[in-house]
Amino acid sequence: MVKEDPITPPLLTFSIDPESGFCSNTKIFHSLRHPFSLPPQTTPLSVTSFIFSSLHRYPTTSSAVALLDSTTPHRILHSQLQHLVNSLAFSLHHEFRLSRGKTAFLLSLNSPHIPILYLSLFSLGVIVSPSNPANSAREISGQIHLCKPVIAFTTSDTAHKLPYFLPTILLDSPEFNSMMFRNQNSFHLPENQISQSDTAAILYSSGTTGNFKGVELTHRNFISFLAGARAAATVRKTPVVTLCAVPYFHVYGFMLCFREVALGGTVVAIKRFDLELMARKVEEFKVTHLALAPPSLVAMVNNADVASKYDLSSLEMVLCGGALLANAVTERFKIEFPNVAVAQAYGLTEATGGITRTMGPNESRVKGTVGRLNSFCQAKIVDPNGLGLPPFKEGELWVRGPTIMKGYAADKEATASILDADGWLKTGDICYFDNQGFLFYVERMKDLIKYKAYQVAPAELEHLLQTHPEITDAAVIPYPHEEAGQIPVAFVVRKSGSLLNEKQIIDFVAKQVAPYKKIRKVFFLDSIPKNAPGKVLKKELIKLSASGTASKL
């Protein structure tokens, strides 16, 4: 049984460094954030009930907008939200017999309807399983086989990817709209005693390292995440307006839309990242926060002239997560947008998203960090022998806390390989903490390049390449070599019109790193292949390097 709420024994608190959070006795890093209260685990409670029970803490006007679409006049007010959720839940229960423990599959781009649908299904105890609409029919079939849904929700342009035997509701149909906007004032919903330990969602790992895994997240996981967001929220004169350019089917966008609604803010849905559209909507809706994946932030930096055509003075912060953001990109962003803070975070789907994040302008100025541990989260940095390491020592990051997943759906073996009996989730990431409790990401363990007797972190070389003024993006992979075992090979995207060649790039890196870290080969691409949250698809690059189909000078 996973321990989800670690508590530090009083006798050990004396050995915890108040600056770093590191306990010298247990070798555990503790959160430096203020603790907050969670509902008793035995209390029946859905995440939907938790959100609506807390909204009174964030009073809004009758005209305050909760959800809106960037491309249509469609908007949903906070004053409408609970009625719409209840109406849709009533319709889904009575017309389609959806109830606790059943699963619904979702296939859609972002829209204001998605958070309402999520909350309605949660209130019934239905398990939500959203997928990327860009997935192939084969990939979608595999996910459906894994989560075993009784119904699917999609749009008319992606419905053809679903199997014929699965009952399907179109989100862009008049029928769906009528289910949300019933005129009844009261709805007789089932008396669900939803346990916080019930699975609320099955989200899918990226699939970049093998077959998809279905990550089971509970109502308790979501409630813990939202309670932490509520505890960290600051008092504002005006509500936060967040433009969400990350997909709602990914844990980043999934949790962000709930967090902003739960805190009385506004979420602007955008189907796909488009820099000019995004800048125009920042001006139109007075957006204060942007939620982006790293490639989108890179696009802002590389095309600052496009953004400069619009009034972005309302913008306070860019939230960046889902993949690693190079230090060079952050520094360039600060030059182009000096009045906008960049908040970085580190997390996994298996941990309901965020484990660490930077909070406030001072933390955002710490170069290279992905933030401090969230409240109630503990971490260890573990060496290959399983021993915990102190600050400034690199090792595998293990984390524990109330947001850690229940396990992988229908895969006990994979669950046992990543979750131990004490609740520690083994992230597979090489990281370290400094003496102020800030976490620094180094590299995926499996991505480390083994050059002779040395280990080379691709991320270090990628960050270095991205400081070159003629390079807009770069990725580094291991390449087989008879003598060395593996050598670092770079895939580079040059700025338009650049004649930068392989030798110039190799020399640029060689001047700044130890000899064993040098780039030995360069391939040029028009773009680096990435998944929806912005992680580089290194398996595709490895295939390209092996086939020789990438252009090489």
Tell me if 318 is assigned to some domain: no
Return the ∠ at Cα 214 (arms to 169 and 68), rounded to 5°. 45
CA 378, distance to chain mean position in Å, is 19
- Under a CB-based contact definition with an 8 Å cutoff, are residues 318 and 342 in contact? yes
Q: 364's torsion region: left (phi>0), alpha (psi -120 to 50) or beta? A: alpha
Q: How does strand 372-373 pair with strand 353-357? A: antiparallel
List the one residue out of 195, 229, 53 whose CA is nearest residue 127: 195
Tell me if 432 is assigned to some domain: no
Tell me if 10 is assigned to some domain: no
Tell me if 151 is assigned to some domain: no
Q: Domain range for residue 527?
A: 446-547
Least confident segment among 126-135, 325-334, 428-437, 496-505: 325-334
Q: In sequence order, what E strands does 205-282 have?
A: 214-218, 241-244, 266-269
Q: 235 falls in which pLDDT band (50, 70, 90)?
A: confident
Question: Does the pLDDT at position 369 exceed 60?
Answer: yes
Domain of 510: which CATH number?
A: 3.30.300.30
Instruction: Determine the Cα–Cα distance for residues 360 and 317; give it in Å rounded to an integer.
Output: 10
Q: What is the pLDDT of residues 240-291, one digit of tens each?
A: 999 999 999 999 999 999 898 888 899 999 988 899 999 999 999 999 999 9
Q: What is the pLDDT of residues 41-90, one digit of tens each?
A: 999 999 999 999 877 666 677 688 999 988 888 889 998 999 999 999 99
- Under a CB-based contact definition with an 8 Å cutoff, are residues 188 and 119 in contact? no
Instruction: Determine the Cα–Cα distance for residues 415 and 393; give it in Å rounded to an integer.
Output: 27
3-state secondary structure of 123: helix
Here the tokens at position 216 are: 């089971």
Task: Count CA atoms closer than 13 A to 172's CA, side-chain side.
Answer: 12
Question: Does the pLDDT at position 170 exceed 90?
Answer: yes
Tell me if 479 is assigned to some domain: yes
The pLDDT assigned to 523 comes to 93
Q: How does strand 199-204 pair with strand 214-218? A: antiparallel
Here the tokens at position 90 are: 């009533």
Tell me if 336 is assigned to some domain: no
End-to-end Cα spacing for the chain: 55
Q: 11 falls in which pLDDT band (50, 70, 90)?
A: very low
List the one residue out of 392, 298, 289, 385 whose CA is nearest residue 19: 392
Tell me if 28 is assigned to some domain: no
Q: How does strand 199-204 pair with strand 168-170? A: unpaired
Domain total of the chain: 1
Tell me if 530 is assigned to some domain: yes
Instruction: Determine the Cα–Cα distance for residues 154 and 176; give it in Å rounded to an integer.
Output: 11
